[in-house]
Structure 1
Amino acid sequence: MLLTGRALTADDATSTALLNCLVREVCAPEQQVWPDGAHLVVRLPRAGVVLRAGLARPPAGPTYRLVPPYEERRDDTWIPAPWDRLADLVAGELELATGRANPEFLAQVGDSHTALAAIIGARGEPRPEHGRYVASEQALVAGHRFHPSPKARQGAPADWLRYAPETRARFRPHWLAVREDLVAEEGAPGAFAALEEHGPPAPPRHRLLPVHPWQLGLLADRPLLRRALADRLVVDLGPSGAEALPTSSVRTVYLPDADLFCKFSLDVRITNCVRKNAWYELAGAVALNERLPRVFAGLGATLLAEPAYRSTTLADRRLYEGLGVILRQGVRDLPGTPLLAGALADPYGTFLSELPALSTPDGALAWWDAYVAHVAPPVLRAYLDHGVVLEPHLQNVLICVDGDGMPVRAAFRDLEGTKLTAGRWDLSGLPARVAEALTYDAGHGWNRVVYCLVVNHLAEIAAAVADLHPALDAVLWDTARRHFAACDGHPQVRALLAGVPLPAKANLRTRWSRTADRGATYVPAPNPLAVGPL
């Protein structure tokens, strides 16, 4: 672990995530958090329990650097508080705060802990031939630092370890051949041609359809698929000859031979939701891909295109969605070396410290200046000038760096999370359910932009830079302000610069209420863009 020198353990990572959520969503908004020397003390407002954690350094904006040991006060003594005790305490506090129980919560936290322990045990050695980009995609061992169950994953580890990016897995996708009249496809003609070049020959009057082998196993008992295979309407061609490398989202894989991504469906709950490609998301990706290139042409950033999807029209919606695959543009044409932003922010990793540009405080400040310049203005202008709600969280942004590690371009990805502001785009030609899934109202859209850009992304990158050079803590956000101030003609940005609290997505409360991710609520978080002390 970069902050403490300790090896990453499932116990410590689970405890850290639980306490991060508790501080952000429950204790800090009720002024029940205070520093005490090298510790952060946290009081559960309703249960009255007092906890403390090691504090690597003072908080920087809306993020914390909590480190073991984690302790609970009994009378006048501090005693160890293991991860499962913390989970029980968090559950008890939330039940008192909301007036309702959630019998699933402790199981989800336990599943995440089990998965993390299995990942740490199975993590292989880096493969230099895959390069730094793939290594960054597969670096997020502990996952989201502000989520109570960041590695919760449906199924036993034996079901999914072979497909897990965190274990540095690689596998061969499965190929089906679907009779031409049963193929569902939208998007750019010929978009799948480059992928098909790396697949087996299809039987006459059939077209190739790649499938995630985990998903194929989950769908194997569907009666309609079994009949279609028996009647050779669908032909099982077996595993691909080309390898796929799972990326940080698990279900999206990179095929380096074709320089393409396949965003597969997985009827599996991972962290928050079942990761299937709903029919309206398949159509929505193509609809956005037709509309957004002209927006990005003037933003100085790259949007990785999703030019087409393919599935089958067999009369079973679960098969239509479950076999639906979205094609995504590769990374070979990006300038420099793309790196996943999440890997740069990861306090358990070393990606940021290995970039030569950050070896000195002056170099690190120049690096941060360039980083914010490439990430923040495109996101703000997309929303303010065009009504496009990007989702620039740490797993959706690639930072292209030069040989010294200096940022030269940002690439945004995943059209599932990209939305359009209601009323600013003509979506009358789309089916009503597709248009609904593609839109946010203006307030929801702005909250999503600010949370993803500032709280989830820039605050975590800033904290990682300050881990390397603590003296920069006081000046990083002064530098960032300049890039936000370029958009201060807009009232929303002026409010940010005036210090209004930031909207932080309430992952803990959302899991407790079992709300769909789209309906997640927000809690106020300190705004580091404000002038003066927080």
Structure 2
Amino acid sequence: MAEELAVVRPALLPRYTAELPGARAAVLTRLWRALAHEPLPWITGRVRGAHSLALHLADGRTLYGPHADPYATSAYVTGVRLDRERQVDPAGLMTALAVPHAAAFAAELAGSVASLALSRADAEHAKEWPEQDWAWEQRVTDGHPFHPNCRSRPGFSVAEQLAYGPEHRPLVELGTVPVPADECLVSGDWPAELRDGGRVLVPVHPWQAEHVLKRSYAPWRPARPLLSLRTLAPADGPHVKTALSTRLTSSVRDISLYSVRAAAPLSALGEELAARTDGLLHITRTLGAVSAHSPDLAALLRESPQGYAGPGERVVPVAALATTGLPEARGWLAAFTRLALTVGLRLLDLGVALEAHGQNLLVILAADGTPVRLVYRDLADIRISPARLARHGIAPPPLTGRLITDDETALRRKLFGSLVGGALAGTAGSGPALGAALSAALPGLPDTPDLRALREGPLPAKALTLMRLSPGTPGDQWTSLPNPLVLEPGPSDQ
């Protein structure tokens, strides 16, 4: 990356080089969290000492490092020791561990470090709060707060990261590819602007057109990339979610036929659910979706969250809250936590578990910074319980497949893992801060079985590193983290 940067943006090279040690520590901290808390089969024991944690490996070696706060976002791990050898680079550590699939994962970790250093090197540190919704998304440099692949962007050159990454503040020229209408699946209302006689014009990301579709496209309109990279905000009109068929963090970001078929019924369900939250939640509508019967050539048009802000209010992705200084203000984190749990638990009781991580969940702030309402976007990975919906007189959407389950464990994992272990933990920045916010927020919430499960049990979280090291196992894999309310070691720390 340094060699490419010296060609395409040489003035940035000194800052990139200066950011590399911090980027290594940030990714190593995320990796150490996984080693300390995930059910990795080649770790046979974990022993907590007075000042450190020892991980016993199946091959007889021992890995030593600091006690691992599973909710910490600071880069507090600058090195660990594998037997007598000190490791400061996460890719080097994974290579030295030499476990199954370590080589591929090590390459991803190296890419994550390099991309994170590039993001931080090119960051703007404006103190003024932006007015535009997309400008908030540009302030987030570090990506996923707990995934070692927080900035992994395989297949992107340095020039392409600078041209398409939201933290680099580019303007991306979206294009369209014409497809005969009878060869398309359309859900919802597809606008006349994106039709041409008997053809549907499918919006495409320029990276996708060049590297995956390998075909030309007609320029359509410029847009600002959002946190998800493949979703962009034009100057006016709805946001555009495009297919971007590369693996970012854990998933390949194409758009399945299932997602396109489900878009309209999910949007209708979202409107009905939002109406039952006493005005505390808005769910952005999906206006239209299209697929050329290929996950590589598909798009969704979705309402901008900005439309739900009143005079003087700002809509901020939860992932960007750390840039505001608000979480450090007295009582603010507890108020936000109470708002988020009130809404999340209410929808869970109704029958829908949101994937409410810091990218999908946004908060509407009053002029003085008070959190007043929430906005949720992207219903593509929620979980829906027909039985719970029916208990509340809500007709389940006409859907089958992965979104539909009545399994309470699956429903609670989806919400608690994303909202508490993701959005709230990432905002709090540490286990003690998260525990204090939960302790202040939970009293007064309706006493439901879901709330009791949150209060009394360990916290479910995706085993993100285990998933990357298990390429033959489809779907999510899970671990249990110590409950932040009690801050006692969980099973993985015994």
* Contact 1:71-1:80 at 8 Å conserved across structures: yes
Shift of the alpha carbon at 1:69? 3.1
Question: Where does residue 340 of structure 2 map in the other structure?
Answer: 375
1:437 aligned onto 2:422: no
The alpha-carbon distance between structure 1 residues 129 and 295, as it changes in their structure 2 partners (threshold 3 A), is closer
Question: Where does residue 375 of structure 2 map in the other structure?
Answer: 411
* Contact 2:187-2:261 at 8 Å conserved across structures: yes
* Contact 1:504-1:523 at 8 Å conserved across structures: yes
* Contact 1:126-1:135 at 8 Å conserved across structures: no
Shift of the alpha carbon at 1:524? 1.8
1:210-359 alignment to 2 at 5 Å? 210-221=203-214, 236=217, 238-240=218-220, 242-258=221-237, 260-299=238-277, 300-312=280-292, 317-318=293-294, 321-335=295-309, 336-345=313-322, 351-353=323-325, 355=326
Question: Where does residue 496 of structure 1 map in the other structure?
Answer: 454
Match of 2:484, as an amino acid?
P
Shift of the alpha carbon at 1:79? 4.5
Question: Where does residue 438 of structure 2 map in the other structure?
Answer: 477
Question: Where does residue 232 of structure 1 map in the other structure?
Answer: none
Secondary structure of the residue that 2:446 maps to in structure 1? coil
Secondary structure of the residue that 1:146 maps to in structure 2? coil
Work out the percentage of aligned pairs sharing the same amino acid. Answer: 25
Match of 1:337, as an amino acid?
R
Secondary structure of the residue that 1:172 maps to in structure 2? strand
* Contact 1:16-1:67 at 8 Å conserved across structures: yes
1:526 aligned onto 2:482: yes
Secondary structure of the residue that 2:368 maps to in structure 1? coil
Question: Where does residue 233 of structure 1 map in the other structure?
Answer: none
Measure, in 1, the Cα distance between the counterparts of 2:222 and 2:282.
26
Shift of the alpha carbon at 1:218? 3.2
Secondary structure of the residue that 1:527 maps to in structure 2? coil
Secondary structure of the residue that 1:145 maps to in structure 2? coil
Secondary structure of the residue that 2:362 maps to in structure 1? strand
- Can you give the 5+ residue segments of structure 2 that lack an aligned partner in the other structure? 1-17
Aligned counterpart for 1:10 among listed residues 2, 23, 30? 23
* Contact 2:316-2:363 at 8 Å conserved across structures: yes
Shift of the alpha carbon at 1:119? 3.6
Question: Where does residue 43 of structure 1 map in the other structure?
Answer: 55
RMSD (Å) for aligned C-alpha atoms? 3.5
* Contact 2:177-2:203 at 8 Å conserved across structures: yes
User: Which string of whole-angstrom CA distances, capped at 9 and with x for unpartnered residues, describes residues 298-329 of structure 1?
Assistant: 112111111211244xxxx43xx322111111
Q: Which moved more, 1:66-75 or 1:302-311?
A: 66-75
Question: Where does residue 170 of structure 1 map in the other structure?
Answer: 171
* Contact 2:246-2:252 at 8 Å conserved across structures: yes
Measure, in 1, the Cα distance between the counterparts of 2:373 and 2:384.
23
* Contact 2:223-2:234 at 8 Å conserved across structures: yes
* Contact 2:204-2:297 at 8 Å conserved across structures: yes
* Contact 1:142-1:150 at 8 Å conserved across structures: yes
Aligned counterpart for 1:32 among listed residues 29, 42, 47? 47
Question: Where does residue 191 of structure 2 map in the other structure?
Answer: 192
1:19 aligned onto 2:32: yes
Shift of the alpha carbon at 1:278? 0.6
Shift of the alpha carbon at 1:444? 1.1
Bigger CA radius of gyration: 1
Shift of the alpha carbon at 1:338? 0.9
Question: Where does residue 331 of structure 2 map in the other structure?
Answer: 366
Measure, in 2, the Cα distance between the counterparts of 1:209 and 1:255.
15
Shift of the alpha carbon at 1:125? 7.8
Shift of the alpha carbon at 1:11? 1.9
User: Which string of whole-angstrom CA distances, capped at 9 and with x for unpartnered residues, describes residues 162-214 of structure 1?
Assistant: 11123222211013344555554221x3x535xx3xx8xx7555454322111
User: Which string of whole-angstrom CA distances, capped at 9 and with x for unpartnered residues, describes residues 381-420 of structure 1?
Assistant: 1112x21121111111111112221111111111111121
Shift of the alpha carbon at 1:29? 10
* Contact 1:481-1:529 at 8 Å conserved across structures: no
Measure, in 1, the Cα distance between the counterparts of 2:138 and 2:331.
27
Secondary structure of the residue that 2:421 maps to in structure 1? helix
User: Which string of whole-angstrom CA distances, capped at 9 and with x for unpartnered residues, describes residues 326-372 of structure 1?
Assistant: 11111232221111111224xxxxx132x4xx67xxxx243123212
Secondary structure of the residue that 1:399 maps to in structure 2? strand
TM-score (norm 2): 0.81
Measure, in 2, the Cα distance between the counterparts of 1:211 and 1:244.
12
Match of 1:70, as an amino acid?
G
Question: Where does residue 457 of structure 1 map in the other structure?
Answer: 423
Shift of the alpha carbon at 1:114? 3.4
Match of 1:399, as an amino acid?
V
Shift of the alpha carbon at 1:376? 0.9
TM-score (norm 1): 0.75
User: Which string of whole-angstrom CA distances, capped at 9 and with x for unpartnered residues, describes residues 416-451 of structure 1?
Assistant: 111212545689984xxx511321333211112111
Match of 2:357, as an amino acid?
H
Measure, in 2, the Cα distance between the counterparts of 1:33 and 1:122.
39
Question: Where does residue 462 of structure 2 map in the other structure?
Answer: 505
Shift of the alpha carbon at 1:74? 5.8
- Can you give the 5+ residue segments of structure 1 that lack an aligned partner in the other structure? 1-5, 230-235, 346-350
Match of 1:217, as an amino acid?
E
Secondary structure of the residue that 2:228 maps to in structure 1? coil
